[in-house]
Amino acid sequence: MINQKLAELFYKIADILEMRGVEWKPRAYRRAAKGIETLVEDVSDIYKKQGVRALKEIPGVGERIAEKIEEFIKTGRIKEFERLSETTPKHLNELMDVPGLGARRARILYQKLGIRTIAQLKKAAEQHKICKLPTFKEKSEENIIEGIKFIKSSGGRKLLSIVLPVALKIEARLKKFGQVSIAGSLRRRKETIKDIDILVASEEPKYVINFFTKMPEVKRVLARGPTKSTVILDNNIQADVRVVGKTSFGSALLYFTGSKEHNIALRELAIKKGYKLNEYGLFKGAKKLAGKTEEDVYKKLGLKYIEPELRESLGEIEAARRNKLPRLVSIQDIRGDIHVHTKWSDGDNSIEEMALTAKKLGYEYICITDHSKTRAIAHGLKEGRLLKQIQEIKKLNKKIKGIRVLTGSEVDILADGSLDYGDDILKKLDVVIAAVHSGFKMPKEKMTARIVKALENEHVDILDHPTGRIINTRPPYQVDLDKIFKRAKELGKFIEINAFPDRLDLKDVDIKRAIRVGVKLTIGTDAHDVNHLRYMAFGVATARRGWAEKKDILNCLSTKEFLKVFKIK
């Protein structure tokens, strides 16, 4: 599958062209990249079967880009890209991370002062070299220095789980002004969030803006207009509020939720129909056709309602047009959590405490999956203790009512693909989750073979966190997911979406691929504490972003059905 690699190249070309001040081409390259990303089929297969002509059928791909795709398939490179990157310093777009600096002014900084990095930028601003440049003044230097401080302290994008509670608190407070909704990537439940966006419907925007900019946690006001304001909160999260009239709430929510690409696609669709779409509504001439609710706007555009998690311009608009949208899984569909740790290994709570909390959450079953013996650092269970735990769970099931506790293990996949317990032990467990916790630096083929070998063990049921990534901390290890999905399907094995907020592994786009292959998935919280059981919501959100339906997720099954699938008595 070369689609992703190719899309990345085109995105990079777009960035470079943008830095150079080239007009329109960046947009064309990005559209082509998006078109390629959205494809189900491998680009090289399309080319093999029907040649360049078929490539041009891909949305956003024309004559010139089709040639570049052909070149990449034949030679593994795109000369144009190499030419561009040779003559453009790398990392120049890091300047564009500074709030207030876009492509145009970043280019001026480079051309006039040779600034390429944030460090050089900071020095130049402090030495007052920048205010002499065109389009810059003293105020710009202040803003640049402030902006760099912000980047350093905020560390870029934050985890969904960190930002969401902050946003919910603000949302609740703004309710007294009228209809309120969290919008932006937060509403789409992206795994990381750059800023909080909140929309308010009110005919008195000045009161809202006044209240918002004076909230106790506001550290700095970046912008404050009559209907829109941007602030930095004391935890260095940026928050934007926008106020619109009640009759525009839907169209404004649509606009403010994004994604940007989704909005552009909708607006283009509107234009094709002879309409105009903006945050105030959908218009035909001066006549407003829709705007009060999102549903109204979609309907008038000839589309079914699209859930926020799907709004990434990855095929959802076409699916909405053809009434082929998935019926997304929801948190209410989840009947049990099947990845839970306890005090027996590195968790904080007893088996009983975890079970009772799960019961309170409305679950019918829970599976205890402590670490295996090699995870000594996590107090992994030696065989004797695991057998003892199995007995303990048997006793507990007689004692507590209303929830079934299953036995299991999160067993290490060792470097050679063998498992951390022998078959004699594994066969005693209800559910066996296998996972890689060491030897991350293996080459791709070796890692893939290692995981496949583990899946081929007859006692293994589920593969957990298939890429091993920790968001913002550790990159994924090299692994051929397509191969893993294919083998898992053949063997009737499952893949877990780990719901822990810094893992979310599988991630959204990989979930979509897995479902396409036909692998069944599970969602497990990897809870190490009773409070972590609530992380299920993040796992479900990620599954939804991956177009998952109830039927794709195994722990949507009732206890009876679940036990049958796992052949548990």
Q: Which residues lie near DNA (CB under 7 A)? A: 23-25, 27-29, 31-32, 56, 59-66, 80, 96, 98-106, 135-140, 143, 184, 194-195, 197, 223-228, 238, 240, 256, 258, 260, 263-264, 267-268, 271, 274, 276-280
CB of 469 to DNA, least distance (A): 25
Residue 504 CA to residue 476 CA, distance in Å, equals: 12
Beta strand spans in 375-489 (E) = 404-412, 431-435, 462-463
Residue 175 main-chain phi, psi, to 5 deg: -60, -25
In the complex, minimum distance from the CB of residue 199 to DNA, in angstroms, rounded to a whole number: 10
Least Å from the CB of residue 243 to DNA: 8
Helices (H), 258-315: 260-272, 294-300
Closest CB 545 distance from DNA, rounded Å: 18
150 or 440, CB closer to DNA? 150
- Give the shortest CB-166-to-DNA separation in angstroms: 16
**Is the CB of 143 or the CB of 457 nearer to DNA?**
143
Tokens 């966190």 locate to 465
Q: How far is the CB of 279 from DNA (least distance, A)?
A: 6
The residues, any chain, with a CB within 8 Å of residue 118's CB and separated by 6 or more, are 94, 95, 97, 98, 148, 151
Q: Which is nearer to DNA, 9 or 334 (CB)?
A: 9
Of 62 and 492, which CB lies nearer to DNA in the complex structure? 62
Helix (H, G, I), strand (E, B), or coil: what is residue 285? coil
Whichever of 59 and 492 has its CB closer to DNA, that residue is 59
Q: Note whether 329 and 499 are within 8 A (CB).
A: no
Tell me whether residue 274 or residue 384 sits nearer to DNA (CB atom). 274
Q: What angle do CA 408, 412, 417 make, to 5 degrees?
A: 120
Task: Enter the tokens of residue 101.
Answer: 């600096």
For the stretch 83-91, contacts whose Cβ atoms lie closer than 8 Å and that sit 24 or more positions apart, written own/partner, are: 84/13, 84/16, 84/17, 85/12, 85/16, 88/16, 88/19, 88/20, 89/116, 91/116, 91/117
Comparing CB distances to DNA, the nearer of 28 and 484 is 28
Q: What are phi and psi of 9, to 5 degrees?
A: -60, -45
Structure tokens that stand for 502 in this block = 């810094």
| CB 520 to DNA: min, Å | 36
Closest CA to 129 of 149, 150, 118, 115: 115
Tokens of 311: 């709004």
Closest contact distance (angstroms) between CB of 5 and DNA is 18
CB closer to DNA out of 126 and 138:
138
